[in-house]
Structure 1
């Protein structure tokens, strides 16, 4: 199909939107038209989106199969003349196979809807803009088209919240020498639905050209079929747009103070002892702690900025031990008190550029400890890092990661089991650790003896006690098989053998219990348990998407089995802790808030609040042998600090309400960050007394806020 024939329009039916772009609304063409797009991830096509428009009706088929997962929807849409849906029906399955059957209808002044998340009705004299619970990239195009006429104003949407669409630039795509006909496109930013923006590109005839999220710098996007070679160009565009946004946020939200910063009237939490101090003072100069002493000690300087802790608790910055970094996740992490992360697999070029930007102070981000991703080649391959074809290639890749400063190698599902031992040996020779999934058809016991320093994900450990020989963990079975976990006997010989091996080899466990809770305890229409302490603070689109069953729970017995599997994960955490196995709290998620839930889950499993908080502070840094710089609050250490009003050693939920976070001496106020990111704040900033200079002529310049 030629470019011109992909979107047929009538000049008399065109609608004028935005800054001079003529957009052809779906449903105004006299003949059937088509939008055919590819879903691209890691440089490979992993799905498709095909939309056929006839009159005012649009039929969409959307299918993704990436790493064994992906939504598979059919959508039927009826639009009015302005492009607003009058009816919408979505049927199929969601990311992990959960059933999707969503319906929306506006008729005779009444809008009604039913989805996994909710159901309701609202009187409306004209069709409102309904936002789907289970949508597709084509739905984002509908939202954009229906909202562009607002010219930058927020548009109310059903079932709640507001959407804003703004044009950010015009771009030219394609090159005849590369076999791609040139396309002129307008780029629109859609905000208000999720935590990060989505970008929608329309060509100069109004046809949908591409859709991608703010983190598409790695190349994950939906793009017009035949233009897949243009993905790197658009990935760079995505990176540029997101970088502009996060740089601006860094300039607004990062506060730097000249001279010492004195944090007074705080109880300092010591992860080593599990105790809080009497009221104390902590002084920071530049990026280091220079003094920790009892409250009221003499010699406070007028040149110091004073932060009043008001009797709250100051504890070391948290470490998310299972992250996949994107450009805009840094502020979300910092707002939750997370000052360090372990990146567990990424696009290598992107991560190197991100590390450079963080080091240069361009963007707000925790410290990152990078892990080098190694995967095997199969129909289920994940598309991060390297996919070596031979053992020699794998060993060369290990050396590349060592030369680029990676602390660890992460092995994934399709990796050849026989290569684990030599790869681990080479990594250890180079001073690197090894962790990851248990490769398909391998076992936890074998990877432990082959050299794993940590197993990634609690389910990857438990599958060794659950799966039958020959079952394939490259598929969603690695998650859905957790429905069998409730029947596990933790005193059984296989369980005791694996635990003994972990103890004798010093193997740690990267739990990501929160992501398992998200899956196993998710139920359509119910507020998810993993977000019980922050759900109402989140944007409406985020809330609705998570009121769902991620897996098929139509059978009550299966729902019960998943609940029992979730219960068993907490029992395994307590068993491993009691046996002295190091627990590494991680999330596999980028909101920051989920690490706080991960720590809370440790408490629900039976750890004391102090023990749970230790795992995410000192314990994480002990794993990296990095305690000389971070992990506790002491003179000479990096000033990575979190201030909360309560006492997390008594009630772990206090960690959800940080008032101030310091990352290397730079101060952030979570309330400011959350407000800027569309999240309702949790706590107010502490009171601050600016520094006073002895020289009146320079007094105004002592405190510098950026």
Structure 2
């Protein structure tokens, strides 16, 4: 969900190869998802009066935006009049205008209204747009004196050339260049452009997800993607070298209050020893230090086990956000298989700043509404092949999706269990959650999929937006004390079916356009202005205040229901499916709203995460012998869950990382200013340390030395 919701919210790029028909130049661009299926198009028409019209449509997984744009450009090649109408990914009405007269720029949308006096050129970034608007920036930056372009409402865009490649279309050839643009969002944006005096957009590639390319040139898409993956990798390696500080030799973290994730309470202050990525000793705070080469003074901070995000869709640029939030493990719940293998390899080598990943194999059925990552299958034979592939590649879990054929569900689940995989997912169309349990599900993703058990019928097409609209509209009327609800909860408990509710993600169900979505209120002032601006864009179609109140009450009951599940003994895990890192903190806050204590919410994000990724032998608690996935936090998140955002330092995979450094690298205002520094010690050699004081040896080791 994360990528589909955000990829087109303020698209930077468009394409610009044209052909003439009468008095209108028409350009058609094709949009493909990773498996090669065409999922949309962008048609650009420019008439001889200077008016450009854009028709944009993108549909994947039964949803996506449809936009109609009109704009004119001034002498600087940037828009001075603009209008866009249509619908967002989840159906919200889009109606946005911009105009500039002289030095006065004004804009208005369904969520905001503003104006600004501007001197010189500036590019307005719509809240919802096609790729056509950002394309104007390429030549504007190239032809500017300082290679910078002011943005409206705020910000500055820069771009740098990464490299070139030759592309072919029949007997036509041309050289295109890969550019990296910075100044919008939390990571660089990559775009392919023509070369020469006035470079124009050629393609946009998001490796592992989509390719946007001019009609006729689509055969070059894979070559562009491969080149871009390597280019992005070089930047990411530089980030990793800069932000990952290796812990060489024995390191002691002194005076830390350890969170006991088994008992969900704080322990006494301790000194924790780390060597080669593992915890080697835990001693009372102030114990004599023996042989440590470095130390970190926790100064009484709380030390948490590394947090788990149990519902990620991992991208190569997400890693810093996760680490900075103390998320050291992410369960990936659906990805392009080749892209996932690339990321796993990069993390393993230390070339990618990011958490350890537990991949879940994505399995979808073929339909017009299919999601198009992982394996998309038609029959049981293909499903078994996919399961074999996932088992051979070390995936501990399978995720089944909306269009999966219900006729083969039970046999598919049985085969996955035979191969040792847990099975979870959405509920396939035509079924309800209790029938997925009959088929052998071990876990259910998303609170809406749980609610649909009571609200959908066998005829409900849950591949469409109805899977969001029905729970938003009808949960308010659901009687939680009714026998069907109580019986279902009892069955979940008896079978110990885990629930991955992603409450923070589904807050969008009740968000009114122009109001800030609750999960991001706490972090908004820390974010770059363009990111903060996007937090107030509603995505659901909410017609009036009565509908808003209904959706609000339904969402409140969803939160309540998760609390009922937890109190009944149903396992809960904490996942996001939204902005990496930050959303996990918000998910924990919603669990507290649901009735968990802050300490219980932390237990869900640590102990439960390890249990339901089958990694509890190595993660989930601060225990001698386990991986040193450790998070130092200011404040006390066992009393105030919002303090979990105050991450001062993270240790994982043998590296020390500081969120303040990561956030500054991404244009984010840090949540913690004073970081606990790594101090290099000069211990005596092992031979000198042993045998110099027999009494000290006996006190430390508890036994006398024997020759």
TM-score by length of 2: 0.91
Higher alpha-carbon deviation: 635-644 or 363-372: 363-372
Larger CA deviation: 235-244 vs 453-462: 235-244
- Conserved 8 A contact 2:648-2:676: no
1:516 aligns with 2:510: no
Matched with 2:663 is: 674
SS of the residue corresponding to residue 328 of structure 1 reads: coil
Quick check: 1:227 aligned with 2:217? Answer: yes
- Determine if contact 1:374/1:412 at 8 Å carries over to the other structure: yes
Partner of 1:661: 650
Q: 2:275 aligns with which of 272, 280, 285?
A: 285
Q: In structure 1, how many angstroms separate the alpha carbons of the residues matched to 2:441 and 2:422?
A: 8
Distance 1:538 1:553, change over 3 A: same
Flag the 1:561–1:211 CA change in 2: closer, same or farther, 3 A. Answer: farther
Q: 1:424 aligns with which of 393, 400, 413?
A: 413
The 1:400/1:66 distance shift into structure 2, 3 A limit, reads: same
Partner of 1:112: 106
Structure-2 separation of matches of 1:500 and 1:324 = 31
1:188 has 2:179 as partner? yes
* C-alpha distance after superposition, 1:576-633 (max 9, x if no partner): 0011111011111242110111111100111000000001101111223322211110
Partner of 1:237: 227
2:466 pairs with 1:474 = no
1:234 shift after superposition = 1.9
User: Does structure 2 conserve the Cα–Cα contact (< 8 Å) formed by 1:186 and 1:201?
Assistant: yes
Aligned to 2:204: 212
Do the aligned partners of residues 501 and 406 (structure 1) sit closer, same or farther apart at CA in structure 2, a change above 3 Å counting?
same
1:702 maps to which residue? none
What residue in structure 1 maps to residue 30 of structure 2? 38
Distance 1:266 1:636 in 2: 18
User: Are the equivalent residues in 1 in contact too, given 2:148–2:157 (CA < 8 A)?
Assistant: yes
For the 8 Å contact 1:152–1:166, the answer to whether it is kept is no
**What is the rounded CA distance, in whole Å, between the counterparts of 1:545 and 1:149 in structure 2?**
29
Match of 1:297 in 2: 287
Q: Secondary structure at the match of 2:133?
A: helix
Compute the displacement of 1:554 (Å).
Answer: 2.7
Which secondary structure state, in structure 2, belongs to the residue aligned with residue 221 of structure 1? strand
Tell me if structure 1 keeps the 8 A contact 2:41–2:58: yes
Partner of 1:198: 189
Instruction: Name the counterpart of 2:492.
Output: 502
Contact 2:308 2:327 in 1 (8 A): yes
Structure 1, 492-501 or 72-81: larger mean CA deviation:
492-501
The equivalent residue for 2:384 is: 395
CA contact (8 A) 1:521 1:529 kept: no
Give the 3 Å change call, closer, same or farther, for CA 568–555 of structure 1 in structure 2: same
The residue that corresponds to 2:356 in the other structure is 367
Q: Aligned with 1:263: secondary structure?
A: strand
Q: 2:619 touches 2:627 (CA, 8 Å); kept in 1? A: yes
Is the contact between residue 111 and residue 127 of structure 1 (CA under 8 Å) also seen in structure 2? no
Distance 1:489 1:41, change over 3 A: same
Matches of 1:327 and 1:450, distance apart in 2: 35
> 1:297/1:151 Cα in 2 relative to 1: closer, same or farther (>3 Å)?
farther
Q: CA deviation at 1:211?
A: 4.0
390-399 or 195-204: bigger deviation: 195-204
Would the aligned equivalents of 2:295 and 2:681 in 1 still touch at CA under 8 Å?
Answer: no
TM-score by length of 1: 0.91
Q: Secondary structure at the match of 2:635?
A: coil
Q: Cα 1:108–1:358, aligned 2, differ >3 Å: closer, same or farther?
A: closer
Deviation at 1:429, TM superposition (A): 1.2
RMSD: 2.3
| Contact preservation (8 Å) 1:35, 1:208 | no
Which of these residues, 546, 553, 564, is aligned with residue 557 of structure 1? 546
**Alpha-carbon distance between aligned partners in 2 of 1:607 and 1:219, rounded to the nearest angstrom:** 37
Aligned length: 667
Q: CA deviation at 1:31?
A: 5.7
Matches within 5 A, 1:38-187: 38-42=30-34, 43-54=36-47, 55-150=49-144, 153-174=147-168, 176=170, 181-187=172-178
Gaps spanning 5+ residues in structure 2: where?
A: 1-14, 686-707
Q: Is the 8 A contact 2:427 2:436 kept in 1?
A: yes
Cα deviations across residues 315-349 of structure 1 (Å, max 9, x unaligned)?
A: 00011111111112111111110000111111111
